[in-house]
Structure 1
Amino acid sequence: MTNSLTLLGTKGGPAIRPGGPNPTSMLLTLGGRRMVVDCGLGVARGLVEAGMSLKDLDLIFITHLHSDHVLELGPLIHTAWTTGLANKVTVFGPPGIKRLWEGFVASMSYDIETRVADEGRPDLSALVELIEYGPGLVLDADGLRVDSLRVDHPPVTDCFALRIKAEGRCVVFSSDTAYFPPLADFASGADILVHEAMLPEGVDSIIRRTGNGARLREHLLASHTLAADAGRIATQADVRCLVLNHLIPADDPDFTEDHWRSALAPTWSGELVIGKDGLSIVLD
């Protein structure tokens, strides 16, 4: 099992448009474990197209409860179950993740009960363990360590960056956050920092297409990180590779990879990957 990071969905925000990328989800294969980080729309299809059997679903980490990070959590697990999932899936998420899962199971009770009785499937709820976490140590078992840091993503309080380490490799996920200098210490020395990023000149484009102008602008500027500031974090953390993800905007043809690289040039001179759905990075 090759240690790798695969970006399944790279778009910031919940809207999807023809030909555009999917909202946030990633697959980290590290230390013999497959870990899904966030479950935006398209995660199940993205995993299958990345070559993973959904029967192998193992660990899921949810960084916060915004819909573009959690909307397909229930459907992913349910689809894995109908594919033949037989092992336990452990979901780590912020406070509220248990309620979200219980609500999904309740909404699908007819289908679940019918498939158990008609198709002989195991009890879905018995296959899923939900663990709510806060800042600090999340998991330390079998050579895999996961730590979390509360970041700045108003109005969401329980939003966490994750540092995942195994076999001498380390990958850090910023989650959604405004420019947050403490993240540099948290990510110090990581092989890969996956950081959200926003182009300031792209904000007006998003507002024109989405509406709710003044309020949306206020949210974007208060809750997300400009690309240049993501570079500052990566430089201060001395990471090996910076991966830009949760791109704002991600589906506007007027903004190309050159725009992102130009925005990062003053603050980051190391290896840079601009996220695209399906892109895989080998860690070994």
Structure 2
Amino acid sequence: MADRLVLLGTKGGPAIRPGGPSPTSSLLDIAGRRVVIDCGLGVTRALVNADMSLKDLDMILITHLHSDHVLEFGPLLHTAWTSGLARKITVYGPAGIEEYWSGFLQSMRYDIDLRIDDEGRPDLRDLVDLKVYADGLVHQDGNLTITALRVDHPPVVDCFAFKIEAAGKSIVFSADTTYFPPLADFARGSDILVHEAMLPEGVDRLVVRTGNGARLKEHLLASHTLVEDAARIATSAEVKHLVLHHLIPADDPQFGEADWIKALDGKWDGRLSIGRDGLVIPL
């Protein structure tokens, strides 16, 4: 399969609404590797819809432990296992990912043990090579280099952007972050910057729909990036292609692609993609 970036789920936050997009996850097919970045609700079905065989899953990267990025991590691995996965998968997660994985395995122990005995499957617990990462070099092998940068996403401390380099390409994922100028240096000259984005005029409507009032608005403004600030990072970094992801709001019928484009008028003049579930971007 040709190298590609697939946006599997593109909304910010854990809630899902009728007809709306799913929380955050992405697939990077590059240099023969299949790397999943974040595992929000819906990632498993989205991978199947993207024509990826789950038993071919190669690597998972988790940016941080907010539920809209990790909720379906365990179910994805379990479903890949029941779909024929029989080789090691490398998983990189921040501190705390071990507790999530051990808790998931405990919750599914009856089913896992039963399927090993009744269906002759390998032990799922032996197929996951779980590694905790921090700032700096995360992974390097013959054709793939992954680097992490701690970003600013209060109150979460361990939240990291990723730079993935392979096949002469460089793709950067911002993760969840407020406007964070060091990210521009991290992403310098990259082919693609996948950056979270928030429409300021959509925040008040989102708060009303969700019902958490002023406290939610305070979190959004302190922890996420306005769309024009995402453009500032992309411009400063001189990236070739800006991809808006983890959209806030993403499922409000009053806001669509035209609003995102309008918000960037005069602020970004490079190649632009507005995230939507299932969007395929050839590399």
**TM-score interval, normalised by the smaller of the two chains:** over 0.9
The amino acid of 1:59's aligned partner reads M
Q: CA deviation at 1:152?
A: 0.3
Q: CA deviation at 1:266?
A: 2.9
Provide TM-score, normalisation by structure 2: 0.99
SS at match of 2:123: coil
Matching residue of 2:93: 93
Per-residue Cα deviation, 1:99-136 (whole angstroms, up to 9, x for no partner)? 11010000001111111111111110000010000000
Q: CA deviation at 1:25?
A: 0.3
The amino acid of 1:266's aligned partner reads G
Confirm whether residue 129 of structure 1 aligns to residue 134 of structure 2.
no
Per-residue Cα deviation, 1:7-30 (whole angstroms, up to 9, x for no partner)? 000000000000000000000011
Q: Percent identity at matched positions?
A: 68
Confirm whether residue 151 of structure 1 aligns to residue 151 of structure 2.
yes
Provide TM-score, normalisation by structure 1: 0.99
Query: Unpaired runs of 5+ in structure 1?
Result: none
The amino acid of 1:48's aligned partner reads V
What is the root-mean-square deviation of aligned Cα atoms in Å? 0.6
Q: CA deviation at 1:188?
A: 0.5
SS at match of 1:149: strand
Matching residue of 1:194: 194
Matching residue of 2:240: 240
Matching residue of 2:171: 171
Query: Unpaired runs of 5+ in structure 2?
Result: none
Kept in 2: contact 1:60–1:92 (CA 8 A): yes
Number of aligned residue pairs: give it.
283
Matching residue of 1:224: 224
The amino acid of 1:3's aligned partner reads D
Matching residue of 1:249: 249
Matching residue of 1:203: 203
Matching residue of 2:112: 112
Aligned structure 1 segments of 4 or more residues deviating by more than 2 angstroms: none
SS at match of 2:34: strand
The amino acid of 2:202's aligned partner reads G
Per-residue Cα deviation, 1:230-254 (whole angstroms, up to 9, x for no partner)? 0000000111100000000000010
Matching residue of 1:48: 48
SS at match of 2:2: coil
SS at match of 2:63: coil
| Structure 2: distance between partners of 1:266 and 1:63 | 31
Matching residue of 2:22: 22
Per-residue Cα deviation, 1:133-172 (whole angstroms, up to 9, x for no partner)? 0000000111200000000000000000000001110100
| Structure 1: distance between partners of 2:37 and 2:234 | 20
Q: CA deviation at 1:36?
A: 0.2
